[in-house]
Amino acid sequence: MSLSLSAHLPERDVRIDLEVADGETVALLGPNGAGKSTLLAVAAGLLRPRDGRVTLDDRTLTHVEAGRTRTWVPPHARQVALLAQDPLLFPHLSVRHNIAFGPRSRGVPQRTAAAEADRWLDRIGLPDLGGRRPAAVSGGQAQRVAVARALAAEPRLLLLDEPMAALDVDVTPALRHLLREVLAERTVVIATHDVLDALLLADRVVVLDGGRVVEQGPTREVLSRPRSAFAARIAGLNIASGTWSADDDAVRTTAGDLVHGRLHDDGGGADRVVPTTGTPMVAAFRPSAVSVFPARATGSPRNSWPVTVTALEPQGDLVRVRAGRLSADITPQAAADLAITPGDPVWFTVKATEVDLYPA
């Protein structure tokens, strides 16, 4: 299904047009208040713009002109699923019945719906939890159940609002892995603050700021050549490209350094994919995960590279140490102790557990 949306909500100072092709996943990126949730709410039929139109293929779901509603399909009749930060499972129903809810609402007989729910439970890696109540599963498991429940309803459009935001960092790789798998071929809009979501899940990013689209394009293009301030900021993620080296169990960068990290599919269960030597890979890590040392750290994490400081700049409460394309965010105290200035040689060190590795 292709989505076409235009919405003007003057009371929120939001004016946005968005097109999503059939089978495409678009990430909405932007700072707080940019309009991401507003856009999803308009698509889901939870908000009525003053002027706007939402169509899925050729079916008009919303059509409002100067405050006058021409067409309005209520949320439950849109075949649009909205998955929020909070999984919002029905607390009184078992996990299995939560997933079976969508098929049941479509008139699928109970047994068939339960069998369908069990297939989803297998697929999300929780085959034994069907009988539990939502209160008896972890936050990460509940979010996986929410994904299954949303998709079992066979929505024509899936909307995800910061699906990882409420989860511990330990469980986000497993959920990302699941999403990467189930989002393929579906029409999806995902609102996120996280550049990794965009890189791993989206075909295209649309950057919003102040209620307007400020930039859009294929994910890698936008992040490698950001034009908006927000894309530039989120692209502040350190990214190193290279190829997989099975002998080293690491990515060998084009500069020849080895980068050890967590394969993106870690936590994904039985179908974990191990790349073969030569597979183009990307290593990504946050500047705040990088420590700076005057000399090679001993007994240290496995990733340590000699670099030359090119700039020092304030980054919130921290100091950003730039070394060419890599950055480290350290405390002002640490920067003072190191007494570094541009031109100084230092070592950048990052724990392998802080580095995400994924196919390019």
Ligand X SMILES: Nc1ncnc2c1ncn2[C@@H]1O[C@H](COP(=O)(O)OP(=O)(O)OP(=O)(O)O)[C@@H](O)[C@H]1O
Which residues on adjacent β-strands are paired with residue 19? Answer: 4
Q: Residue holding tokens 């001993």? A: 298
Under rule CB under 6 A, residue 37 binds ligand X: yes
* Phi, psi at 278, each rounded to 5°: 100, -15
Distance from C-alpha of 204 to C-alpha of 206, rounded to nearest angstrom = 7
Among 20, 27, 38, 134, binds ligand X (CB under 6 A): 38
d(CA 66, CA 52): 9
**Which residue in 7, 34, 81, 335 binds ligand X (CB under 6 A)?**
34
Residue type, 185: E
| Residue 30 touching ligand X (CB under 6 A) | yes
The distance between the two most distant Cα atoms of the chain, rounded to a whole number of Å, is 71
Tell which one of 2, 6, 33, 214 touches ligand X (CB under 6 A): 33
Provide the minimum distance between the beta carbon of 85 and ligand X in the complex, in angstroms, as a whole number. 9
Give residues 156-215 in contact with ligand X (rule: CB under 6 A): 211
Smallest separation (angstroms) from ligand X to the CB of 357: 28
Give the span between the Cα atoms of 41 and 89, in whole angstroms: 19
Q: In the window 121-160, what residues touch ligand X (CB under 6 A)?
A: none
**Per CB under 6 A, does 12 bind ligand X?**
yes
Q: Which is nearer to ligand X, 116 or 215 (CB)?
A: 215
Compare residues 123 and 212 and give the one whose CB is closer to ligand X: 212
**R_g of the chain, CA atoms, integer Å:** 23
Q: Could you say whether residue 52 binds ligand X (CB under 6 A)?
A: no
Task: State which of residues 1, 3, 29, 36 lies at the interface with ligand X (CB under 6 A).
Answer: 36
Task: State how far the Cα of 19 lies from the Cα of 116, in Å rounded to an integer.
Answer: 32
Q: Which two tokens stand for residue 110?
A: 């109970």
By CB atoms closer than 10 A (0-12, 13-18, 19+), residue 256 is exposed
Single residue of 29, 35, 264, 327 touching ligand X by CB under 6 A: 35
Contact between 48 and ligand X by CB under 6 A: the answer reads no
| 87 lies in the site for ligand X, by CB under 6 A | no
Residues that bind ligand X (CB under 6 A): 12-14, 30, 32-38, 211
